[in-house]
Structure 1
Amino acid sequence: MTTSHPRKRTVGGGEIDIEAFQRSSSIATLSSTYPLRLISHPVRTSSRAAIIFMSSYGGGLVAGDHVDMHVKVRPKARLALLTQGSTKIYKTPSKDICTEQNLTATIDEGAAMLLLPDPIQPYKGSSYKQGQAFHVQPQHSSVAFLDWLSAGRAARGEAWEFFQWRGCNEVWTLPANAGHAAPKRLLLRDNVILDGMSPFEHSYRDEMDDLGLFGTLILQGPVFHPLAQFFLKEFTSLPRIRGVSSTTTSSTMKAKTTTPTASPRLTWTAASIRGCVIVKFGAKDVDEAKQWSSNLYIDIEHDNK
């Protein structure tokens, strides 16, 4: 068993260390402090992945909360990091007091990690910042992560009424040789900034076109390569406003837009960048988007690599 050296426990800190065991994965280190809770799922002999749920006390984070997670997935191990519900971001007494979450993950050679949380739910008058950095071995490790947020509490009529939401996702490639002094290289950086404090007359709320949810999915590595290629292929087959033939029937167009990756109420786009595939999507309904994403977990559970 690999010897791990847990970090000093700090408020809002979390640490996960996963290692391979035969054809399965085991948890070498699992620790968290308030307001973060990390809960391990009972190990199943049929599962290749260790399953861990992220949650918080009270189901959400208050203004000023700071969460800092560190994840290590060792060679040939698998980790699925999930949630049991949306993380609520509660109202802040001042727009300058932010709720913040950061995650740093290292995925070793032959390892794979899936981060599939429920969407963040920022309340009216909240302020939130998030940073996620994933370090991978070039061409030999895999990561897939979903980063999405809802418009707020629909039952109360909230629609993109928070002060700000800032998210930054990065994928870095590490030197193939751990002892090599070559620096890591940035493969992808994706920034999303929704700032309700804009001095302009029209804020981001006016540009959302009644969307109830907006998100980003990023796929990298051999485990998720078939899924990534599926998205790219499906995207190229979608009808274009100027590219649809006049002979295309409405039934054909409907068949293309009701595939597992799309629906009439879900809009998406996909692109390939330095070995990563990034998918941006928006949906009118949160439940519809959840159903769309529910098949992602299958890939890490049943891959044969």
Structure 2
Amino acid sequence: MERTGKVVVEKVGGKSTVTRCFSKYPLKFIVPSKAGPCKTDSVWIYSLTYGGGIVSGDSISCEFEIGDGCTTVFTTQASTKVYKSVGSKCSAQFLEVTVGSDALLAILPDPVTCFSTARYSQKQVFKVLLDSNLVIVDWFTSGRHESGEKWDFDLYKSTNNIFLDDNQPLFLDTVLLEQQNISPITERMRGYQVIAMIILLGPKLKHIQSEVQENVKRMMSEQLHIPFTGLSGCAQSNSRHFTKPSFIASCSVFGPKGIGVIVRVAAMTTESVYKFLQHQLVGMEPLIGVLPYR
């Protein structure tokens, strides 16, 4: 696949600096001179697409190189719209990233929103060291609710693979939703409208990992395991009165010595996921200069 974008971030004069930035249709990168306080050493890169979305048949391929000790944020200005498929054409995005020693890369996009009949596939491959730091937020919505579209796209596929520098697999994950005659997507999603995955990897994020694990545990304990006291004065199960929660999150560790944490979310509203991300990633503000998803 021909490259449509490349970004190289290196230390120049002791500061994280974009030393190369290339993009071509349908992709465009914007690198503001400063996105946070001057004392914060971080580079922000915004990804845009001409026409405000990804057109049927579009193919985007990017390469990022984050040098040793650099801090970089890759984000968007709005949700990534994937327009209706023409025939059986599939839109595709591919991102290949190398993260250096003691470097931090945070991928903090708005969600992907696929229109009715859209076919979309994305793949992100990361090569890291044991002391690299990586934050990945990968999420998508059910579609254009204002147009009455909910899980009406034909195909959504998202792959995230993380490898150590010796090509040893550290994390391999694929989400695939495809319309089937037996069971349409909307039936399988059981009323949930947003799916999200958050990955936190590396020593600089250890305190955030611990906080997120505790927060998710507390949140789900309150929602799913609330005992109540019956007339006998004993705690009783309220399973007969169970109400499906509007927000579900799970958390687990991966990698040697649990160096990575993954959070998976299913929610009924996009706003609730934005609030969750803002709350859980608040500890990143000192690292990147700005509160994520503010």
TM-score range normalised by the length of the shorter chain:
0.7 to 0.9
| Separation in 2, partners of 1:84, 1:236 | 31
Query: What is the CA deviation profile of residues 27-54 of structure 1, one whole-angstrom value per residue up to 9, with x for unaligned ones?
Result: 1111101001100012352332100100
Q: Which residue identity is paired with 1:41?
A: P
| Separation in 2, partners of 1:243, 1:119 | 30
Question: Does the residue aligned with 1:230 lie in a helix, a strand or coil?
Answer: helix
Does 2:72 match 1:91? no
Unaligned runs of 5+ in 2: 231-244, 289-294
Q: Which moved more, 1:37-46 or 1:79-88?
A: 37-46
- Decide which of 59, 64, 73 is 2:57's aligned counterpart: 64
Counterpart position of 1:153: 144
| Separation in 2, partners of 1:100, 1:23 | 37
1:75–1:50: structure 2 CA closer, same or farther, 3 Å change rule?
Answer: same
The question of whether the paired residues in 1 share the 8 Å contact of 2:40 and 2:287 is answered with no
Does 2:263 match 1:279? yes
Does 2:128 match 1:136? yes
Counterpart position of 1:106: 98
| Separation in 2, partners of 1:233, 1:52 | 31
Does 2:115 match 1:123? yes
Unaligned runs of 5+ in 1: 1-9, 175-182, 249-263
Does 2:29 match 1:46? no
Query: What is the CA deviation profile of residues 248-289 of structure 1, one whole-angstrom value per residue up to 9, with x for unaligned ones?
Result: 9xxxxxxxxxxxxxxx63211111011221111012111221
| Separation in 1, partners of 2:80, 2:280 | 20
Does 2:286 match 1:302? yes
Deviation at 1:245, TM superposition (A): 4.4
The question of whether the paired residues in 2 share the 8 Å contact of 1:12 and 1:35 is answered with no
Counterpart position of 2:272: 288
1:21–1:158: structure 2 CA closer, same or farther, 3 Å change rule?
Answer: same
Question: Does the residue aligned with 1:205 lie in a helix, a strand or coil?
Answer: helix
Counterpart position of 2:7: 16
Query: What is the CA deviation profile of residues 65-117 of structure 1, one whole-angstrom value per residue up to 9, with x for unaligned ones?
Result: 0000100110000000010001110001223x100001011100010000000
Question: Does the residue aligned with 2:203 lie in a helix, a strand or coil?
Answer: coil
Deviation at 1:299, TM superposition (A): 4.3
Deviation at 1:300, TM superposition (A): 4.5
Deviation at 1:236, TM superposition (A): 3.3
Counterpart position of 1:239: 221
Give the TM-score normalised by the residue count of structure 1. Answer: 0.82
1:109-258 aligned at under 5 Å gives the runs 109-138=101-130, 140-174=131-165, 183-196=166-179, 198-199=180-181, 201-237=182-218, 238-239=220-221, 244-246=226-228
CA RMSD of superposed structures (Å): 2.2
Percent sequence identity over matched residues? 24
| Separation in 1, partners of 2:84, 2:143 | 11
Deviation at 1:11, TM superposition (A): 6.1
| Separation in 1, partners of 2:224, 2:152 | 35
Question: Does the residue aligned with 1:223 lie in a helix, a strand or coil?
Answer: helix
Deviation at 1:292, TM superposition (A): 2.1
| Separation in 2, partners of 1:41, 1:298 | 22
Deviation at 1:298, TM superposition (A): 5.1
| Separation in 1, partners of 2:99, 2:285 | 16
| Separation in 1, partners of 2:281, 2:57 | 32
The question of whether the paired residues in 2 share the 8 Å contact of 1:11 and 1:33 is answered with no
| Separation in 1, partners of 2:87, 2:167 | 38
Question: Does the residue aligned with 2:143 lie in a helix, a strand or coil?
Answer: coil
